[in-house]
Amino acid sequence: MKKIAVMTSGGDAPGMNAGIRAVTRTALQKGLEVVGIYRGYQGMIEGDFIPLDRFRVSNIIQRGGTFLKTARSEEFRTVEGRAKAAAHLKKEGIEALVVIGGDGSFRGAAALHAEHGIQVVGCPGTIDNDLYGTDYTIGYDTAVNTAVQAIDQIRDTADSHNRLFFVEVMGRDAGFIALRTGLASGAESVLVPETTTYIDELITKLEEGRKLKKASAIIIVAEGDDEGGALDIAKKVNEKFDAWETKVTVLGHIQRGGSPTAFDRILASRMGNSAVEALLKGSTNVMIGQRNNEMVEVPFTQASKHHETLNPHLLELVEILS
Amino acid sequence: MKKIAVMTSGGDAPGMNAGIRAVTRTALQKGLEVVGIYRGYQGMIEGDFIPLDRFRVSNIIQRGGTFLKTARSEEFRTVEGRAKAAAHLKKEGIEALVVIGGDGSFRGAAALHAEHGIQVVGCPGTIDNDLYGTDYTIGYDTAVNTAVQAIDQIRDTADSHNRLFFVEVMGRDAGFIALRTGLASGAESVLVPETTTYIDELITKLEEGRKLKKASAIIIVAEGDDEGGALDIAKKVNEKFDAWETKVTVLGHIQRGGSPTAFDRILASRMGNSAVEALLKGSTNVMIGQRNNEMVEVPFTQASKHHETLNPHLLELVEILS
Amino acid sequence: MKKIAVMTSGGDAPGMNAGIRAVTRTALQKGLEVVGIYRGYQGMIEGDFIPLDRFRVSNIIQRGGTFLKTARSEEFRTVEGRAKAAAHLKKEGIEALVVIGGDGSFRGAAALHAEHGIQVVGCPGTIDNDLYGTDYTIGYDTAVNTAVQAIDQIRDTADSHNRLFFVEVMGRDAGFIALRTGLASGAESVLVPETTTYIDELITKLEEGRKLKKASAIIIVAEGDDEGGALDIAKKVNEKFDAWETKVTVLGHIQRGGSPTAFDRILASRMGNSAVEALLKGSTNVMIGQRNNEMVEVPFTQASKHHETLNPHLLELVEILS
Amino acid sequence: MKKIAVMTSGGDAPGMNAGIRAVTRTALQKGLEVVGIYRGYQGMIEGDFIPLDRFRVSNIIQRGGTFLKTARSEEFRTVEGRAKAAAHLKKEGIEALVVIGGDGSFRGAAALHAEHGIQVVGCPGTIDNDLYGTDYTIGYDTAVNTAVQAIDQIRDTADSHNRLFFVEVMGRDAGFIALRTGLASGAESVLVPETTTYIDELITKLEEGRKLKKASAIIIVAEGDDEGGALDIAKKVNEKFDAWETKVTVLGHIQRGGSPTAFDRILASRMGNSAVEALLKGSTNVMIGQRNNEMVEVPFTQASKHHETLNPHLLELVEILS
């Protein structure tokens, strides 16, 4: 192998730049050439490439987002689109690819391998932490810390008043961010898609808190909760519970950005390094995962999205500690 | 004068604790006793007081919120309520009062003086910066920095996609927070209550940006804009402009909390110090303001809320630099 | 069991408050009474206790330091001192104790159990991460993030000049903080006590970087490195390498403070919860550890300080990626 | 005028990028071409230029440091060096220059004007805030906030022990950073070059604090204090006062980096905008200053470094409030 490419795909996540840096510098150290592909599969189809040397990836480990950018590509979902993409890779002499992204990105990589023989390895880059085969995904720790810091600021003011705060965090299908955010911020409740939300139970809990003379309550809502987002749930609660003034915060894309935490930088650095090593020993169609603090290779077929597997003990812990 | 009280009132603001600390320590240094009143005027009516010594205000200068808490008091709006409050003050031997809050709080203080002869001095504590007579209010600089940091995180991800972000900041009647936030975060537009918002003009600007190949745009919306909050405006824009994916963030009470900036701590420290000095030289019914870096006394009658006075040059500067 | 106590001991670490909160609220939920002991073993000897209810531990999860404070106690190292301490516990009806601290603190707890039959469980609270039996200690993740953020700021300016920065991080006997800090901040080298530092090799590396036209270099130094602290090493390097202006930063106690990261809050919450559960099922003389994301009980005899076990692959990774 | 250049010079300061952005976009909006000069006067001598369009200055407002970099230039101090530099400017058709830097940089600009007729306007970019003619310099507010946040973290741990902390902040000749840092962080004392430091007085103060049962003390030391840096002073104090454990932190270049505060971004944006407007109306040899919230032009001859003008009331306030 002489030349590999690296790209980021899907929703961006803090730590992706650290992953690109690790792929690049490991590859260079192994005597490989490295090419960066801009804007994911769409850039691959358009041949939007940039040669990466050690300087091009200097001073990016601390940056949020991804300097290679990401994009959606409908065209890559077609056989023709992938053929165009593969032609660009072959013209450039690129034999193997590291994709930093989610399970949809891995499926694209698998198709590229099946149809065009490109060797492909993935790194899990998504703030949602909802992939089988890895304990953590790149960006998750940062997203949780961002949400927690926001809630800390709300807590400063919550103490001063009789107030009920609903804070919406990311998670269309999964409550991982909501759960860890709730646990770390000492929230009163965490509402997630994986479990049924009962508005009446929530109100009962709030009433009990009020009788215990709690000054305020903070409820974390995953955007994809079965009873709706924070605005919806606040409205439903207010219809029956209006003892406290209600305030809503929707964190939105704040959670996707920000300088990655040390955890995410190290995770991405290790994964990027292992991805190149995996390519060199001939692996393909695998995602690099971290399990029990070790780097492992997980077949793409197993690295799919998973839901409904929130640690029930942690959900319970939110209630015990609130 | 032997004994004074200090309280915080109205919406809480970062830096209020620094103000309480400055009042307390200045008063102690001048040989006065100091009492803290919990929960603003409501706590005054209930006699919810705490003696303050130098240790009680240790290690609070960096804390958001206010450890004396605030509360609304309908009762204090009545002559009877104020009589109850004054009786508590007199029973405790409290001759003078420092109120950290907004213009509503100052009107309460004026009534207390008129009806019961309590000497009163105010410090402007509100994140909205909408008081005549002072260049800055306590909490404003922190609130702006909080919003700017949130938008920095959105910017990380904005660069990666074709996206349109609407970020709602505080400001029911005033666009001060929105204006400085927009200027400091390099936003494309700032929508404020003080000027008429034209959705069509905004769309035209977005279209122009798109033609210039801008990757994304961030629009700052003061919650009290004449066309509605960020969610409303996003909806109106989307009806005619859907070239970019649209995302909404509502910062909400995040902006009220957080450790105060150096600027707000110093402002609050100077104001708290000057408030006690003003009391000692016999001043009453004045707010301490900062004008041109100097502490000044501003009669309550002039320290009212003001709107429609946003610096037009700064509004224009947002457009020039975007 | 009806009544337990909780205390923090040794050097303080971010997340200790989250641990105290978790111990308290878990115990209350299980129907136990809880007492906090101020200032560690010295406070135990002096009977400096405070009853803890759910409100006393409100709004502390996000605070650095420990509200129960810590202190050194020479007296507790004596049989007489421990007898005094035990007498206070018994007088209060305290049957069991959770100690959040390091291995020295656990040895004290073991003595208390051996001599006076107090049931004792520990939680690893130290920023140094140098205890066998747990993958992470409470405070480590925060300390690393604090150091990394400081170095990010240096990096902003490093890029502008030909400069050589030495940054000293904590670690008298262990390089864990230095290693993860170096990896996450993209440092050129990490100097740790566990491996021999060769000044000449370092200079050779710097010369090579200079020839490669690197703009600057950042070297992380654990305070206990065999060649001295950052100031010593900077001096030794400068004697032979003066091509770049040299600057030294000593982070010092900045690393002990700060709001704990989500990781440390969750770790401390889970450990505090498990500590009470361990007491309830009769365990004693064990530390709660986290291994492979699970809570485990580790006998005090195994939970000793360890050194010279830095992951060699991670040390190598710093070099590969720099 | 058709074409101008912008550069950063001297020690870098947070907000310089915001200044470059404002110069560039204002100039473009006025129909001018803009060139960036890398590495200050040295880059000017070498003709190291880059054309700036609106995209080149996108997404930099939030970045610390300066993307144009700075450098020292001995050669520019010579008539020959300046002739080379001017030749490059003239070859490129550059008629006017905006320099963001300190008074040394302005003297260089003045020489360029005197000898070669280049129109020159300066913006005060230095964290030290030690220039006559402006209330604030670009970078000062950020540097103070950085130092204050570091000390907040020390304070978390200070509360737990009997400890004496010395924190060294920047300021070789001026105590501005130390003063505002001390005031905002609630330090016990601030030691600055502008006033004589008496070690014995400091010890007396510490002894008094200890008798008052203060838990700890934090002393801010400007690096250029007449009694030495933090390490020197700690040593001198320890010879006579050893009741508390003493710890030293040297913040160093942390203070030069970091994302600029809202204040610094707005200041730099306004100054950069005004600098271009000043050029367009024919001004030369002036620095843009902010006085009483207004932009003003200050002749270079007046914009020199100043010392010994620390606000004595603020120094006194540190003592009153500590």
The verdict on whether residue C230 carries a ligand-binding annotation is no
How close is the nearest chain B Cα to the Cα of D205, in Å?
Answer: 15
Give the pLDDT confidence score for residue C157 in this predicted structure. Answer: 81
Cβ–Cβ gap A250/B249 under 8 Å:
yes
Give the pLDDT confidence score for residue B307 in this predicted structure. Answer: 65
Predicted ipTM of the assembly: 0.95
Structure confidence by residue, pLDDT tens digits, B202-246: 999 999 988 888 878 999 999 999 999 999 999 999 999 988 889
Amino acid (one-letter) located at A49 = F
Cβ–Cβ gap A159/B65 under 8 Å:
yes
Of residues D176, D151, D145, the one with CA closest to residue D257:
D145
Of residues A88, A132, A138, A80, the one with CA closest to residue A111:
A80
State the pTM of this model.
0.96
Give the pLDDT confidence score for residue B167 in this predicted structure. Answer: 97
Examine the pLDDT at D298 and tell me if it is beyond 90: yes
Give the pLDDT confidence score for residue D197 in this predicted structure. Answer: 96
Structure confidence by residue, pLDDT tens digits, B14-45: 999 999 999 999 999 999 999 999 999 999 99
Structure confidence by residue, pLDDT tens digits, C154-177: 988 876 667 899 999 999 989 999
Q: Give the mean pLDDT of D95-101.
A: 98
- Say whether residue D79 is in contact with chain B using an 8 A CB cutoff: no
Considering only CB atoms, which chain C residues are within 8 Å of D165? Answer: 252-253
- CA-CA-CA-CA dihedral for C206, C211, C213, C219, to nearest 10: 0
Residue C164 phi/psi, 5-degree rounding, is -120, 120
B128 is catalytic: yes
Q: Where are the beta strands (DSSP E) in C67-200?
A: 96-101, 119-124, 163-169, 189-191
Q: What percent of chain D has pLDDT over 70?
A: 98
C-D contacts at Cβ under 8 angstroms: 115
Give the pLDDT confidence score for residue C312 in this predicted structure. Answer: 87
Give the pLDDT confidence score for residue A214 in this predicted structure. Answer: 83
Examine the pLDDT at D312 and tell me if it is beyond 90: no
Of residues D97, D50, D107, D96, the one with CA closest to residue D73:
D107
Cβ–Cβ gap D252/C249 under 8 Å:
yes
Closest residue, chain D, to C154 (C-alpha): D254
Cβ–Cβ gap D161/C71 under 8 Å:
yes
Of residues C50, C7, C2, the one with CA closest to residue C27:
C2
Examine the pLDDT at D7 and tell me if it is beyond 80: yes
Examine the pLDDT at D308 and tell me if it is beyond 80: no
Cβ–Cβ gap B252/A249 under 8 Å:
yes
The verdict on whether residue C126 carries a ligand-binding annotation is yes
Give the pLDDT confidence score for residue A23 in this predicted structure. Answer: 98
> Annotated catalytic residue: which of C48, C128, C130, C225?
C128
- Say whether residue C144 is in contact with chain A using an 8 A CB cutoff: yes
pLDDT in 10s for each residue of chain C, 322 residues: 999 999 999 999 999 999 999 999 999 999 999 999 999 999 999 999 999 999 999 999 999 999 999 988 999 999 999 999 999 999 999 999 999 999 999 999 999 999 999 999 999 999 999 899 999 999 999 999 999 999 999 988 876 667 899 999 999 989 999 999 999 999 999 999 999 999 999 999 999 988 888 878 999 999 999 999 999 999 999 999 988 889 999 999 999 999 999 999 999 999 999 999 999 999 999 999 999 999 999 999 998 887 657 888 999 999 999 8
Subunits adjacent to chain B (3 or more Cβ pairs under 8 Å): A, D
Interface test with A, best of C160, C261, C271, C277 (most A CBs within 10 A): C261
Interface test with A, best of C25, C138, C263 (most A CBs within 10 A): C263
Query: Chain D window 226-245: which residues touch C at a Cβ cutoff of 8 Å?
Result: 231
- Say whether residue B154 is in contact with chain A using an 8 A CB cutoff: yes
Examine the pLDDT at B81 and tell me if it is beyond 90: yes
Q: Best-predicted range by mean pLDDT among A288-292, B158-162, D128-132?
A: A288-292
Cβ–Cβ gap C65/D160 under 8 Å:
yes
Of residues B134, B13, B6, the one with CA closest to residue B66:
B13
Give the pLDDT confidence score for residue A159 in this predicted structure. Answer: 65
Cβ–Cβ gap A154/B252 under 8 Å:
yes
Q: Give the mean pLDDT of D47-52.
A: 98
Q: From CA C229, how far away is CA B156, in angstroms rounded?
A: 36
Q: From CA C74, how far away is CA B125, in angstroms rounded?
A: 48
Q: Give the mean pLDDT of D222-251.
A: 94
- Say whether residue B53 is in contact with chain D using an 8 A CB cutoff: no
How close is the nearest chain A Cα to the Cα of B33, in Å?
Answer: 25
Give the pLDDT confidence score for residue D156 in this predicted structure. Answer: 84
Closest residue, chain C, to A59 (C-alpha): C155
- Say whether residue A150 is in contact with chain B using an 8 A CB cutoff: yes
Give the pLDDT confidence score for residue D215 in this predicted structure. Answer: 79
> Annotated catalytic residue: which of D12, D128, D130, D225?
D128
Examine the pLDDT at D159 and tell me if it is beyond 80: no
Q: Give the mean pLDDT of D226-247.
A: 94
Cβ atoms of residues B27 and B4 within 8 Å:
yes
Closest residue, chain B, to A63 (C-alpha): B156
> Annotated catalytic residue: which of A12, A128, A130, A225?
A128
Cβ–Cβ gap C160/D70 under 8 Å:
yes
- Say whether residue B155 is in contact with chain A using an 8 A CB cutoff: yes
Considering only CB atoms, which chain A residues are within 8 Å of C180? Answer: 262, 266
Higher pLDDT, D262 or B173: D262
In the 3-class helix/strand/coil scheme, how is chain B assigned residue by residue?
CCEEEEEECCCCCCCHHHHHHHHHHHHHHCCCEEEEECCHHHHHHHCCEEECCCCCCCCCCCCCCCCCCCCCCCHHHCHHHHHHHHHHHHHCCCCEEEEEECHHHHHHHHHHHHHHCCEEEEEEECCCCCECCCCCCECHHHHHHHHHHHHHHHHHHHCCCCEEEEEEECCCCCCHHHHHHHHHHCCCEEECCCCCCCHHHHHHHHHHHHHCCCCEEEEEEECCCCCCCHHHHHHHHHHHCCCCEEEEEECHHHHHCCCCCHHHHHHHHHHHHHHHHHHHCCCCCEEEEEECCEEEEEEHHHCCECCCCCCHHHHHHHHHHC
Interface test with C, best of D17, D37, D153, D246 (most C CBs within 10 A): D153
Give the pLDDT confidence score for residue C310 in this predicted structure. Answer: 85
The verdict on whether residue D105 carries a ligand-binding annotation is yes
| Domains delineated in chain B | 3-139+260-303 (3.40.50.450), 141-256 (3.40.50.460)
DSSP string, D14-70: TTHHHHHHHHHHHHHHTT-EEEEETTHHHHHHHT-EEE--TTTTTT-TT-SS-TT--
Give the pLDDT confidence score for residue C196 in this predicted structure. Answer: 95
Q: From CA B23, how far away is CA B37, in angstroms rounded?
A: 13
Interface test with B, best of D148, D208, D276, D292 (most B CBs within 10 A): D148
How close is the nearest chain B Cα to the Cα of A218, in Å?
Answer: 12
Q: From CA D243, how far away is CA D251, in angstroms rounded?
A: 25
Q: From CA B160, how far away is CA D165, in angstroms rounded?
A: 44
Considering only CB atoms, which chain A residues are within 8 Å of C155? Answer: 59, 62
Residues 6+ apart with CB under 8 A from B309: B194
Examine the pLDDT at B55 and tell me if it is beyond 80: yes
Cβ–Cβ gap C152/D14 under 8 Å:
no
pLDDT in 10s for each residue of chain A, 322 residues: 999 999 999 999 999 999 999 999 999 999 999 999 999 999 999 999 999 999 999 999 999 999 999 988 999 999 999 999 999 999 999 999 999 999 999 999 999 999 999 999 999 999 999 899 999 999 999 999 999 999 999 988 876 667 899 999 999 989 999 999 999 999 999 999 999 999 999 999 999 988 888 878 999 999 999 999 999 999 999 999 988 889 999 999 999 999 999 999 999 999 999 999 999 999 999 999 999 999 999 999 998 887 657 888 999 999 999 8
B206 Ramachandran zone, left/alpha/beta (phi>0; psi -120 to 50)? alpha
Q: Which residue among D66, D156, D257 sits closest to C257, beta carbon to beta carbon?
A: D156
Which residues are C159's β-sheet partners?
none
Residue B299 phi/psi, 5-degree rounding, is -55, 140
Give the pLDDT confidence score for residue A183 in this predicted structure. Answer: 97
Cβ–Cβ gap A317/C263 under 8 Å:
no
